[in-house]
C-alpha cells in the first residue's frame, strides 16, 4: 500500500517561475532523500505535500496523518510545553497541582506522559523545564524539541526539512536512529551526507529534469561522478570539433584562393574567348560561395554543440576557486583568552577557559547543544565582553563565516557587497574580483537575496579574499547549515587551500573531516 503518491507534480516560485516538473513518486514504508541546489524547490515540495503550499500541476495523495518539520520557523513566545503536548500537557499539570476543573478530568490524556518520555528519548532530548521559552534554547535543542513534538502527534508520514541543522553529534545520531526505526514513509530534504547515506532512494530536483537513484549518497555520488566525466568528455570532443571545423574551413579557403589565382593567370594570358572566361568566373564564384556556406555552417553547428557542452559542464561540475595566501607566520599569536567565563540567564555555559590560537592552526570547537560555542565566538570577535577573564585578539585579522553568511546584506547587489566591504576598490577592480570567483557579465548587478546558497558562499569568499590583505583567521559557525551539497563541497575545497588559522564550529562530520582539523577545544554545558 502506498501512503504517499506524487503524480506529474510540478512546483513554481511565487512569481510563476518553474522549479521542477513531472515528478512521479510512490512511497510505502521507505525513506527518500531530497537533494538539489539551493533554490531547486525542496522546501517548496515538502510544503506542498503537507498541504501548506500549492502545486503548479499534478496531484499529491496522502493516506495518513502528515507531520512536517520545518527549518526552525519563528518560535515567538512558545514554550517547551507548548510544543510538547500543548494544552493536553497543561491539563495534566492542572490536575497534578489541584487546580483542575471538571472538564480537565474528562479531557485528560493519561497516556501523554509515557508518550512524551518515549518521544523525547527517541531524539536524545534531556529533561527540560516545560515553562522555558523555545527562543532561549540553542538551535539544536530547539530542533530536538520540535521533532519530539512532531512524534507526539500520531504522525504516519514524516516530512523533514534539514532536520540535522544545528544538531550536535548525539542529536544527529538520534535523527538517524529515528529514520531507521520509522515504519512509515519519510521524505527528508537534507545536505547531510551521513544522513543521506541511509535513505532508500535519492531524488534530485533540477530545472532540467528529475533524477531518481536507488540507494544512498554513495551510490548517488558515483552516478554523479560518472555524469561529470561524460560531460567533460563531451566538452573535449566539442572543442576538438570546433577546431577541426575551423581548420577545414581555412583549408578550403586556401584551396579556393589557389583556384582563383590560376583563373586570374588564365585570364591574363587571354588564351580563351571572353564568353568562356566569364562563364568560368561565374562557376568559380558560385563554387566558392557554396564552400564558404558549408564551412560556416559546419563551424556554426560545432559552436552550438560546444555551447551546449559548456552549459552541461557548468551544470554538473563545481566551480573551482583559487585561494590567495594570507601570509600568516607559523607562531604568530592571533587569540589569547585567559580565565574566560560565560553565563546566560544565570547558567554557566563554560569556564573558566584558557585558549591560545597561533599560526595556521585548524581548531575544532566542539560541545553539546547549549554549551556556548556561538557565545564564545561572540566573545572572541568582541561583540560582547566576558563575565570574567580577558581576551586579546587581532580582530582586524579575523573574519566570521556563519550559517546565515551575515556579512552580506540581502538587499545589496553582489557588486555593492564587494565595494562596501572593500571600499578601497574601484568598480573595475570589484568586477575583476567577482569574475575570479565565478561571477561574470551582469552577475554583479544581482541582489544578494536572489543568489543561491552556493553563490552566496562564493560572494562571501570574494569579499573576504579579494582585499589586499586577506583575513589571517576564519571563524566558521555552522557555515554549511543552509547550503546544498554542491555549495558545501565548494566551501570545503576553498578552505582546504586556505593557509590561515581556522576555528570551526560544525556538526557536519564530513565537513570537519574535509578541513583536516588538528586540535579540538571542547566546551561542556554547566549549570
d(CA 509, CA 192): 9
Supply angle C-alpha 427, 433, 436, rounded to 5: 145
> What b-and-e string marks burial along 387-426, b requiring 16 or more CB atoms within 10 Å of the CB?
eebebebeeebbbbbbbebebbeeebbbbbbbbbbbeebe
pLDDT tens, residue by residue, 512-527: 999 999 999 998 744 3
Q: What is the pLDDT of residues 214-259, one digit of tens each?
A: 999 999 988 877 877 777 777 778 788 778 877 877 877 777 677 6
**What is residue 486's predicted lDDT score, i.e. its pLDDT?**
78
What is the per-residue DSSP string for 489-526? HHHHHHHHT--SEEEEE---HHHHHHHT--EEEE----
Q: DSSP readout, 206-251? A: ETTEEEEEES-HHHHHHHHHHHHHHHHHHHHHHHHHHHHHHHHHHH
Task: Kindly report whether the peptide bond that precedes residue 352 is cis, defined as omega within 30 degrees of 0.
Answer: yes
pTM: 0.68
- Grid coordinates of 174: 538520534
The grid cell for 329 is: 607566520
Q: pLDDT averaged over consecutive 10-residue blocks of the chain (527 residues)?
A: 87 86 91 88 92 92 89 72 82 82 83 82 77 78 82 85 82 82 89 91 86 92 80 78 79 72 61 56 60 65 71 59 86 94 84 92 89 91 91 92 87 93 90 83 83 81 87 91 80 90 90 92 68
Q: 41, 500, 523, 330: which is closest to 515 by C-alpha?
A: 500
pLDDT value at residue 292: 62
Q: What is the pLDDT of residue 527?
A: 37
Domain 333-522 has CATH 3.90.550.10: no
Q: How far is CA 333 from the centre of its chain?
A: 33
pLDDT at 318: 58
Query: Which candidate, 381, 422, 421, places its Cα nearest to that of 400?
Result: 381
Q: What are phi and psi of 9, to 5 degrees?
A: -80, 135
Q: How far apart are the first and last CA of the chain?
A: 50
pLDDT reported for residue 525: 47
Instruction: Return the number of other C-beta atoms located less than 10 Å from residue 514's C-beta.
Output: 16
Q: Is the distance from CB of 190 to CB of 163 less than 8 angstroms?
A: yes
Backbone angles phi, psi at 462, to 5 degrees: -65, -40
- Domain regions of the chain by residue span: 224-316, 333-522
- Contact between 122 and 151 under an 8 Å Cβ cutoff? The reply is yes
Q: How far is CA 217 from CA 101, 146, 163, 176, 198, in A?
A: 54, 26, 17, 14, 8
As a whole number of angstroms, the longest Cα–Cα distance in the chain is 127
State which H helix or E strand residue 362 sits in: strand 362-366
pLDDT at position 265 is 62
CA distance 354 to 340: 7
CB proximity list for 138: less than 8 A, separation 6 or greater: 166, 369, 370, 374
Adjacent-strand bridge partners of 189: 34, 161
Which residue is listed with cell 560582547? 384
DSSP letter (8 states) at residue 79 = B
Amino acid at each position: 500500500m502506498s501512503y504517499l503518491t506524487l503524480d506529474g507534480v510540478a512546483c513554481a516560485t511565487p512569481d510563476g517561475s518553474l522549479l521542477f516538473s513531472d515528478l512521479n513518486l510512490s512511497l510505502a514504508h521507505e525513506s527518500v532523500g531530497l537533494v538539489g541546489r539551493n533554490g531547486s524547490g525542496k522546501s517548496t515540495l515538502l510544503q506542498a505535500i503537507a498541504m501548506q503550499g500549492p502545486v503548479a500541476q499534478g496531484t499529491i495523495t496522502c493516506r495518513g496523518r502528515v507531520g512536517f518539520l520545518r527549518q526552525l520557523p519563528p518560535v515567538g513566545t512558545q514554550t517547551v510545553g507548548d510544543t510538547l503536548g500543548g494544552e493536553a500537557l497543561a491539563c495534566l499539570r492542572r490536575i497534578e497541582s489541584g487546580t483542575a476543573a471538571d472538564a480537565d478530568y474528562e479531557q485528560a490524556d493519561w497516556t501523554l506522559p509515557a508518550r512524551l518520555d518515549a518521544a523525547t528519548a527517541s531524539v536524545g532530548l534531556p529533561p527540560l523545564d516545560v515553562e522555558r521559552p523555545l527562543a532561549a534554547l540553542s538551535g539544536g535543542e530547539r530542533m530536538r524539541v520540535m521533532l519530539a513534538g512532531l512524534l507526539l502527534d500520531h504522525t504516519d508520514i514524516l516530512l523533514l526539512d534539514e532536520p540535522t541543522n544545528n544538531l550536535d553529534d548525539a542529536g544527529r545520531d538520534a535523527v538517524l536512529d529515528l529514520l531507521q526505526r520509522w515504519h512509515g514513509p519519510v521524505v527528508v530534504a537534507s545536505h547531510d551526507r551521513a544522513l543521506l547515506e541511509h535513505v532508500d532512494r535519492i531524488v534530485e530536483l533540477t530545472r532540467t529534469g528529475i533524477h531518481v537513484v536507488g540507494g544512498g549518497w554513495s551510490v548517488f555520488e558515483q552516478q554523479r561522478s560518472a555524469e561529470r566525466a561524460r560531460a567533460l568528455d563531451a566538452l573535449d570532443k566539442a572543442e576538438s570539433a570546433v577546431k577541426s571545423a575551423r581548420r577545414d574551413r581555412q583549408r578550403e579557403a586556401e584551396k579556393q584562393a589557389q583556384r582563383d589565382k590560376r583563373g586570374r593567370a588564365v585570364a591574363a594570358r587571354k588564351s580563351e574567348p571572353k564568353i568562356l572566361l566569364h562563364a568560368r568566373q561565374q562557376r568559380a564564384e558560385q563554387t566558392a560561395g557554396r564552400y564558404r556556406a558549408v564551412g560556416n555552417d559546419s563551424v556554426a553547428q560545432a559552436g552550438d554543440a560546444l555551447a551546449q557542452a559548456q552549459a552541461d559542464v557548468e551544470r554538473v561540475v563545481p566551480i573551482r576557486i583559487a585561494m590567495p595566501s594570507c601570509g600568516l607566520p607559523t607562531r604568530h599569536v592571533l587569540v589569547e583568552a585567559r580565565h574566560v567565563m560565560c553565563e546566560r540567564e544565570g547558567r554557566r555555559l563554560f569556564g573558566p577557559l584558557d585558549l591560545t590560537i597561533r599560526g595556521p592552526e585548524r581548531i575544532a570547537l566542539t560541545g553539546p547543544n547549549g554549551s556556548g560555542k556561538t557565545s564564545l565566538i561572540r566573545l572572541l570577535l568582541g561583540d560582547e565582553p566576558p563575565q570574567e577573564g580577558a581576551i586579546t585578539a587581532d580582530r582586524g585579522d579575523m573574519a566570521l563565516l556563519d550559517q546565515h553568511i551575515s556579512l552580506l546584506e540581502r538587499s545589496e547587489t553582489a557588486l555593492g557587497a564587494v565595494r562596501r566591504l572593500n571600499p578601497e576598490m574601484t568598480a573595475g577592480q570589484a568586477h575583476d574580483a567577482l569574475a575570479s570567483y565565478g561571477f561574470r557579465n551582469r552577475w554583479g548587478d544581482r541582489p544578494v537575496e536572489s543568489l543561491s546558497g552556493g553563490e552566496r558562499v562564493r560572494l562571501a569568499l570574494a569579499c573576504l579574499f579579494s582585499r589586499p590583505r586577506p583575513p589571517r583567521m576564519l571563524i566558521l559557525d555552522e557555515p554549511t547549515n543552509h547550503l546544498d551539497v554542491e555549495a558545501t563541497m565548494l566551501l570545503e575545497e576553498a578552505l582546504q587551500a586556505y593557509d590561515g588559522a581556522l576555528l570551526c564550529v560544525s556538526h557536519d562530520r564530513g565537513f570537519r573531516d574535509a578541513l583536516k582539523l588538528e586540535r579540538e577545544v571542547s566546551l561542556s554545558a554547566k549549570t
